[in-house]
Amino acid sequence: MSAAEQVVTSAPGALRRRRERRVRALRTGAAVVVALITLAPLYWMVVVALSTRAELLGGQLRLWPRELTLANVERVLTAFPVVTWFGNSVAIALVTSLITVAVNLLAGYAFAQLRFRGSTALFLVALSTLMLPVQVIMVALFRLVTELGIYGSYWAVILPTAASAFGVFLARQFILGIPRELVEAARIDGAGHLRVFLQVVLPLCRPLVAVLFFMSLLQTWNDFAWPLIALRQNELFTLPIGLLYLQGQFGADYGGTMAFALISVTPMVVLFLVFQRYFVQGFARSGIR
């Protein structure tokens, strides 16, 4: 092959590689821009929380404080039962997430692996509840927890939210991706549905469990409207309710407000960084893009 023919042959490959590099550079640049936009509020929250009151009141706030201080955090922890509210949030979020994961996995397994009359219609009815905002059913939920005698307790917050239609959908899509031959082989060996679920399906659902757990934990941790209605005593408040109470007490104390918000946000950020690999895997294998 002559030199001219080699140049002509290699030209399309070189153009394709240059095009791929441009596309990769554009994607990287877009990801960096989106990341900066997303992290900007968190960054300013940290800056305000660690700034002195003189900088905040004097309008001298900079990209990074001249003097780092924990006075805002100490003032919030001293003036309010933040530790108690933090413990309430942890207890409610953990119990709700554990129950939600169990319910969603079992329901997803039933819709994916069992064939019974009306399963499709029942699944569509469950999905249709996603179109109902929580404000529409708050009166019904309030009457329910009142008649059950659990109003004002942790269970008034936990039980009404211990299920998720989107979680059932996600679990069903994930379990549908598990080879049916594995389930059938276990059934041929005499295993019942519970044993198949515990010994065959559940070990393959680790990424899904991480996704469901983190989603439920994040939603419950940040929930404000329903706990505000379901809880009565100050000692049972969660962090979002406490933040509103703090704003009413401090007024325009942005340093104290941001310090409280930083305490509330940090656990969720750390959990996401730890479990992000399972989080991405769970969505990818469930067919959600």
pLDDT digits (tens, 9 = 90+) for 17-65: 888 888 888 988 898 899 888 888 888 888 888 887 777 766 666 777 7
pLDDT of residue 75: 85
Split at pLDDT 50, 70, 90, the class of 247 is low
What is the pLDDT averaged over residues 198-209? 85
Give the residue carrying structure tokens 């008649």: 147
Structure token digits, residue 44: 């300013």
Average pLDDT, the chain: 82
pLDDT of residue 268: 87
Residue 252 pLDDT > 70, yes or no? no
* Cα angle for residues 59, 65, 71 (degrees, 5° grid): 90
The pLDDT > 90 percentage for the chain reads 13
Q: Identify the CA nearest to 175 among candidates 197, 152, 143, 151.
A: 197
pLDDT digits (tens, 9 = 90+) for 270-283: 888 887 777 776 66
With a CB cutoff of 8 Å and minimum separation 6, the contacts of 144 are: 160
80-285, which class in CATH? Answer: mainly alpha
Phi, psi of 153, deg, nearest 5: -115, 175
> Which pTM does this prediction carry?
0.80
Between 82-113 and 71-79, two packed helices, what is the crossing angle to 10 degrees? 90
What distance in Å separates the CA atoms of residue 32 and residue 230, rounded to the nearest whole number?
41
CB 76 within 8 A of CB 263: yes
Residue 250 pLDDT > 70, yes or no? no
Amino acid code (one letter) for 239 = L
pLDDT-wise least confident of 58-67, 103-112, 142-151, 203-212: 58-67
Of 11 and 170, the structure prediction assigns the larger pLDDT to 170
pLDDT of residue 289: 45
| DSSP per-residue codes, 95-148 | HHHHHHHHHHHHHHHHHHH---TTHHHHHHHHHHGGGS-GGGGHHHHHHHHHHH
What distance in Å separates the CA atoms of residue 95 and residue 211, rounded to the nearest whole number?
16
pLDDT of residue 105: 92
pLDDT digits (tens, 9 = 90+) for 82-125: 899 999 999 999 999 999 999 999 998 888 888 778 888 888 88
Domains of the chain, by residue range, sit at 3-49, 80-285
Distances (CA, A) of 212 to 7, 78, 133, 152, 270: 54, 35, 20, 27, 17
Split at pLDDT 50, 70, 90, the class of 198 is confident
Judged on CB neighbours under 10 Å (0-12, 13-18, 19+), 200 is: middle
Structure token digits, residue 245: 């109470």
Distances (CA, A) of 98 to 94, 121, 223: 6, 27, 17
